[in-house]
Chains A and B, each alone.
Chain A
């Protein structure tokens, strides 16, 4: 079982990111589950969503307190207490930032992978919505699902121009991280 916790802000597509990831997993024949932990729902407020991917049906409904991976959609959230809590030993942290990984890793005190997802989204979508770029990077790092699975999940959600733009975005995002860097860790978690 792989457990992922996604931190973002209202309006960044945090729940959509979790749903897309679980949808891609389900469509590939795995078990997938995604759900949000809403606070008061408003733009800009910190929000959290959870994803579980497994080879057999999971029935638990509890929040993911010990994720294998963290996806952080806004670097400023790293300063919010609890965001890094519970990450399993050797777990991966992917952060949306224009800072380089070495600089941010030093600031955070743990190894992180960075992706300028907002910038990429502005370029390819024309909107600062970083979620699909981060998902693409996450799949590239972990290789838990083929990129086609994300493409098909996006095709269920978007049509026309916005779909085309997202497909270009995930292609560009994929090239910005080291393919397979988290593959062993993901495999150990049970991918």
Chain B
């Protein structure tokens, strides 16, 4: 049923539809409305589960790790410094191959302190070994949250559903909430094969000697690569059930034969899509959205880039002293193409800076007027910089 919902409220309802048994979370802007809404569903008796209020994000992640290996379906959510505080546990969850779903309400990482949206937080933990899916809108956030449980439980890998903070979490828009019957049909009850049980004792999280460590790392890497098929299957099956596909690994729209393409992650794609429609005079442009960032969808990306001569990579984070994070990974993937596109790599919308519609003509102007330059933060106001940084 189509209804007006705030993104956070819709995500909370989607989580509840998945029948989690243990939820632990510590509130942090802009994730707060998600966990408040879930806490209310629990308090109102609409969601029967153990809701553990913890004193930090480190504990939130630790509680869901413990609960998951005790056999529960679990959920947590965080953002920004909260993601960093739980980062040690995030690596442990993934390395122990424990299926957990969490929402990252994407926010800038301090310092300087910012409560606003970019994607530095989830990018900072991209090597933790989690599946990462980036959502374009709130309908996708709802559908991806549900898909994430199935992906996690089939792969024994945790899934981070990345949702732009404020831009999506605090936006009210029409949402088609799936029914409990649909979600139950899609997501059967789960049994974790390595559930800790005193009657059948096993160890989990033990010291691994050099004799096995490289193999464990290889397996983890391979499991993430293999997870691509489960991400594709989950979206296809969800589409069969609800009529909605949310973009699988890589979503391509716009002009299929365009020689210019813009690639991004998350909700910026919507602004670009509207701007493209407003500017047919600027010529054909293809829009490419990486829905999956881990596993990195190399093969699908290369297909999407066929025939593209200029690729603009827009990202919402950076590696200071290195450059673009997404840009570097995209370039690495394109290296094996016979005629790879020229890559123009920019960070946009850092720390909540508005990404206006006119970024589209300005980006295309930049691409057409100059050869690719090193990574840059787009739209930096030189007047605000000390002379040596201009």
For B354, what are the chain A residues with a Cβ–Cβ distance below 8 Å? 62-63
Q: Count of A residues near B, CB < 8 Å?
A: 23
Chain B contact patch, size range: 20 to 34
B4, B168, B270: the one within 8 Å of A27 (CB): B4
For B372, what are the chain A residues with a Cβ–Cβ distance below 8 Å? none
Interface-lining segment among B99-107, B123-131, B171-179: B171-179
Least distance between B68 CB and chain A CB atoms (Å):
33
Number of residue pairs spanning A and B whose beta carbons lie under 8 angstroms apart? 68
For A63, what are the chain B residues with a Cβ–Cβ distance below 8 Å? 354, 356
Q: Is the CB of B355 within 8 A of A35?
A: no
How far does the alpha carbon of A61 sit from the alpha carbon of B348 in the complex, in Å? 13
Least distance between A56 CB and chain B CB atoms (Å):
10
Q: Is the CB of A60 within 8 A of B174?
A: no
Q: Is the CB of A32 within 8 A of B171?
A: no
Q: Is the CB of B173 within 8 A of A33?
A: yes
How far does the alpha carbon of A38 sit from the alpha carbon of B166 in the complex, in Å? 9
Q: Is the CB of A19 within 8 A of B166?
A: no
For A13, what are the chain B residues with a Cβ–Cβ distance below 8 Å? none
A60-B271 contact in complex given A22-B172, A34-B172, C-beta closer than 8 Å: yes
Q: Is the CB of A35 within 8 A of B174?
A: no
Residues of A within 8 A of B (CB): 15, 18-19, 22-23, 26-27, 31-36, 38, 57-63, 65, 153
Residues of B within 8 A of A (CB): 2-4, 6, 115, 137, 164, 166-168, 170-174, 267-271, 273-275, 354-357
Q: Can you sample 23 A-B contacts with CB below 8 Å? A: A19-B6, A22-B172, A23-B4, A26-B2, A26-B3, A26-B4, A26-B173, A27-B4, A32-B4, A32-B174, A33-B171, A34-B171, A35-B172, A36-B170, A38-B115, A59-B270, A59-B273, A61-B168, A61-B171, A61-B267, A62-B271, A62-B354, A153-B4
Q: Top 7 A-B pairs ranked by shortest CB distance?
A: A59-B270, A23-B4, A35-B171, A26-B4, A60-B274, A34-B172, A60-B271
